[in-house]
Amino acid sequence: MLCSLFTFLRGAAGLIAFRSGHDFEYQDTTVIREMITNNLQIRQLPDLAVQLLAHRGAVTGLGGAFCLMVLMFVATSVRAQELEPRSYANTPVGLNFLIAGYVYTQGTVGFDPSLPVTDAHLRTNAAVFAYARSLGAWGNSAKFDVTLPYGWLWGHGLFNGQPAQREISGFGDPRFRFSMNFYGAPALSVKDFADYRQDLIIGASLLVTAPLSQYDTTKLVNIGTNRWSFKPELGISKAWGSWTVEVAPSVTFYTDNNDFLNGGTLAQAPIYAVQGHIIHGFPSGIWFALDGTFYTGGRTTVNGVRGNTMQTNTRAGLTVAFPVDRHNSVKTYVSNGTASRTDSYYNAIGVLWQYRWGGGY
């Protein structure tokens, strides 16, 4: 997306729990992953957008070259790539979760071969803080979470053969999500949950990202997005003993940024995605998941001119979680791009810590 060099958030909190005896874990794979571990699709803007940038003198000199080469050639810069296993697992009502995490991301950025940009690399560090609570709704299990990320980004490359770089940091847009299971996951207390065994679960969620972080319309590079996004998702989870298979299709809608670079308008088409997971749990409470996601869409329009910015990408990952004690657990994950329409790839590795309390637990 053009209004932000890197959208430091779509990622946030896949609230979910897993069960082993009386251990319950908030699943927060995307809490950072969506915020920073993004496959950056950097493409050329329509001529009108380039003329707009040049006319307003947004970037001058080599010091601003990296800002220019990113903003002038990005039609849609960041797509959240969710890889969040156990997002629709049942959770006892009344539990609270505090989450803190860190992720490191490094990758290369693909440009249109006709552009004078080569050897472009990006590196990000991100921290995230989140709160979640499980509850009951019409007799079914439900969850609510809110997430606030903070990110640091550094990029460098060659622009017309000359080195250029850019650093930026700050808070991203906060994210709010409500999820609810409609079948196979009744609302249960911690005591009653001891006898619960999962079979087939069907649920849904709505994720809302609010434009509340810093945004300067006179700047080419911003952390904030200056627009809302809404992501409805359907979740299906089927268990066979200690193995679980999950599928979750979704679509993300974006409002327009009507103050892009001193009053311009940036619009983006919906992005369609599906993620899948194969999960295995152990009696000790440790579990791992093989993750995969595919998404497409997201073509952008600047001041009425459509860009060649269609996204089609896939990613694969591995998640491992283990309990530390009754109230604490740790999760680690790695992911990697497997295919990209714009030849942009990145690797990510992260760790999340969770503290849980309440519900008589």
- 9 within domain boundaries: no
pLDDT (0 to 100) of residue 45: 39
pLDDT (0 to 100) of residue 303: 87
Average pLDDT (341-357) is: 80
Share of the chain above pLDDT 90, in %: 43
Task: Quote the number of domains for the chain.
Answer: 1
Three-state secondary-structure class, residue 142: strand
Domain holding 126, by residue range, is 19-357
- 4 within domain boundaries: no
Question: Whole-angstrom Cα distance, residue 27 to residue 289?
Answer: 12
- 342 within domain boundaries: yes
Lowest mean per-residue pLDDT among 36-40, 91-95, 168-172, 317-321: 36-40
Lowest mean per-residue pLDDT among 85-99, 129-143, 215-229, 333-347: 333-347
Of 132, 121, 130, 114, the C-alpha closest to 164 is 121
Whether the CB-CB separation of 2 and 266 falls below 8 Å is answered with: yes
Helices 47-55 and 65-73, axial angle in degrees (round to 10): 150
Residue predicted with more confidence, 247 or 48: 247
DSSP codes, 192-245: HHTT----EEEEEEEEEE---S---TT-S--SS-SS-EEEEEEEEEEEETTEEE
Q: Which residues pair with 302 in a beta bridge?
A: 266, 305
Return the DSSP state at 41. B
Q: Across all residues in the chain, what is the average pLDDT?
A: 76
Residue predicted with more confidence, 335 or 58: 335
- 6 within domain boundaries: no
- 13 within domain boundaries: no
- CATH number, domain with residue 152: 2.40.128.130
pLDDT (0 to 100) of residue 56: 41
Average pLDDT (231-239) is: 97
Q: Which helix (H) or strand (E) holds 144?
A: strand 140-159
| Model pLDDT for residues 263-285, shown as the tens digit of each residue | 888 898 999 999 999 999 999 99
Q: Is the pLDDT of residue 140 over 90?
A: yes
pLDDT (0 to 100) of residue 115: 52
Residue predicted with more confidence, 22 or 350: 350
Q: What is the pTM of this model?
A: 0.79
N-term to C-term CA, the chain? 43
- 292 within domain boundaries: yes
Whether the CB-CB separation of 39 and 7 falls below 8 Å is answered with: no
Question: Whole-angstrom Cα distance, residue 210 to residue 358?
Answer: 28
Residue predicted with more confidence, 97 or 80: 97
- Across 41-45, 222-226, 246-250, the highest mean pLDDT is recorded for 246-250
- 229 within domain boundaries: yes
CB within 8 A of 195, min separation 6: which ones? none
pLDDT (0 to 100) of residue 65: 40
Three-state secondary-structure class, residue 324: coil
- 7 within domain boundaries: no
